[in-house]
Structure 1
Amino acid sequence: MLIDFNNLNINKLSFDTEFEKKVKIFLEEWFSETTKVHVQTSGSTGVPKIFEIEKKKMINSAVMTCNFLGLKEGDSALLCLPVEYISGKMMIVRAIERKLKLRIADPSLKPVEDLEEETDFCAMTPLQVENSLEKLHLIKNLIIGGAAVSESLKNKMLQMKLSNSNRIFETYGMSETLSHIGLKQLMPEQEDYFTVFENVSISLDDRGCLKISAPNVNASELQTNDLVDIKNEKHFKFLGRIDNVINSGGAKIFPETLEALVKKEIPNEALFIGLPDESLGQKLILVIEGNESQEIVKKISEIPFKKNFHRPKEVIFISEMPRTPNGKVNRTELYKKII
Structure 2
Amino acid sequence: MLINFNNLNINNLSFQTDFESKTKIFLEEWFSDGSTVKVQTSGSTGTPKIFEIEKNKMVNSAVMTCNFLGLKEDDKALLCLPVEYISGKMMVVRSIVRKLRMIVAEPSLKPLEHLNEEIDFCAMTPLQVENSLDKLHLIKNLIIGGAAVSESLKRKIAQNKRLEGIRIFETYGMSETLSHIALKQLMPEPEDYFTAFENVSVSLDERGCLKIFAPNVNAEVLQTNDLVEIKNEKQFKFLGRIDNVINSGGSKVFPETLEALVKKEIPNEVVFTGVKDESLGQKLILVIEGSATDDLNKKVAGISFEKSFHKPKEIIFIEKIPRTPNGKVNRIELNKIIAGRL
Same fold (TM over 0.5): yes
SS state of the match for residue 133, structure 1? coil
Q: Distance in 1 between matches of 2:79 and 2:287?
A: 37
Cα deviation, residue 248, structure 1: 4.6
What's the counterpart of residue 269 of structure 1? 269
Q: Distance in 1 between matches of 2:291 and 2:31?
A: 54
What's the counterpart of residue 312 of structure 1? 311
Aligned pair in 2 of structure 1 residues 244, 38: CA closer, same or farther (>3 Å)?
closer
Q: Distance in 2 between matches of 1:52 and 1:35?
A: 10
* Contact in 1 for aligned 2:323/2:330 (Cα 8 Å): yes
SS state of the match for residue 323, structure 1? coil
What's the counterpart of residue 190 of structure 1? 190
1:332 pairs with 2:335: yes
Runs of 4+ in 1 over 6 A off after TM superposition: none
Aligned pair in 2 of structure 1 residues 203, 155: CA closer, same or farther (>3 Å)?
same
- Structure 1 residues without counterparts, runs of 5 or longer: none
Cα deviation, residue 121, structure 1: 0.1
SS state of the match for residue 83, structure 1? coil
* Contact in 1 for aligned 2:253/2:310 (Cα 8 Å): no
Superposed counterparts of 1:182-331, under 5 Å: 182-248=182-248, 250-274=250-274, 276=277, 278=279, 284-305=284-305, 307-309=306-308, 311-312=310-311, 314-320=313-319, 323-326=322-325, 328-330=329-331
* Contact in 1 for aligned 2:246/2:284 (Cα 8 Å): yes
Q: Distance in 2 between matches of 1:283 and 1:32?
A: 52
SS state of the match for residue 171, structure 2? strand
* Contact in 1 for aligned 2:289/2:321 (Cα 8 Å): no
Aligned length in residues? 337
Amino acid at match of 1:127: L
Amino acid at match of 1:24: K
Higher relative contact order (CA 8 A, sep 6+): 2
* Contact in 2 for aligned 1:57/1:218 (Cα 8 Å): yes
* Contact in 2 for aligned 1:273/1:335 (Cα 8 Å): no
TM-score by length of 1: 0.89
What's the counterpart of residue 119 of structure 2? 119
Q: Distance in 2 between matches of 1:34 and 1:265?
A: 51
Deviations 1:265-295 (A, max 9, x none): 11223333446374x6655443434444443
* Contact in 1 for aligned 2:248/2:309 (Cα 8 Å): no
State, as a whole percentage, how many aligned pairs show the same letter. Answer: 71
Worse-matched range after superposition: 210-219 or 55-64? 210-219
Cα deviation, residue 25, structure 1: 2.6
- Structure 2 residues without counterparts, runs of 5 or longer: none
* Contact in 1 for aligned 2:262/2:300 (Cα 8 Å): yes
Q: Distance in 2 between matches of 1:337 and 1:114?
A: 41
Q: Distance in 1 between matches of 2:16 and 2:62?
A: 27
For the aligned residues, what is the CA RMSD?
2.5
TM-score by length of 2: 0.88
Q: Distance in 1 between matches of 2:52 and 2:320?
A: 35
1:90 pairs with 2:90: yes
Cα deviation, residue 219, structure 1: 1.8
SS state of the match for residue 15, structure 1? coil
* Contact in 2 for aligned 1:290/1:317 (Cα 8 Å): no
* Contact in 2 for aligned 1:228/1:240 (Cα 8 Å): yes
Aligned pair in 2 of structure 1 residues 321, 80: CA closer, same or farther (>3 Å)?
closer
* Contact in 2 for aligned 1:59/1:97 (Cα 8 Å): yes
* Contact in 2 for aligned 1:262/1:300 (Cα 8 Å): yes
Worse-matched range after superposition: 111-120 or 25-34? 25-34
Aligned pair in 2 of structure 1 residues 153, 39: CA closer, same or farther (>3 Å)?
same
Aligned pair in 2 of structure 1 residues 314, 2: CA closer, same or farther (>3 Å)?
same
Cα deviation, residue 116, structure 1: 1.0
Cα deviation, residue 215, structure 1: 1.4
Aligned pair in 2 of structure 1 residues 66, 252: CA closer, same or farther (>3 Å)?
same
SS state of the match for residue 33, structure 1? coil
Worse-matched range after superposition: 179-188 or 28-37? 28-37
Aligned pair in 2 of structure 1 residues 274, 127: CA closer, same or farther (>3 Å)?
closer
Worse-matched range after superposition: 31-40 or 232-241? 31-40
Cα deviation, residue 48, structure 1: 4.1
Amino acid at match of 1:184: K
Amino acid at match of 1:3: I
Aligned pair in 2 of structure 1 residues 246, 39: CA closer, same or farther (>3 Å)?
closer
Superposed counterparts of 1:46-57, under 5 Å: 46-57=46-57
Aligned pair in 2 of structure 1 residues 329, 38: CA closer, same or farther (>3 Å)?
closer
Q: Distance in 1 between matches of 2:309 and 2:73?
A: 49
Cα deviation, residue 8, structure 1: 2.4
Cα deviation, residue 322, structure 1: 5.5
Deviations 1:141-179 (A, max 9, x none): 111112222223223333432333211111111111111
Q: Distance in 2 between matches of 1:73 and 1:148?
A: 30
Cα deviation, residue 81, structure 1: 1.4
What's the counterpart of residue 26 of structure 1? 26
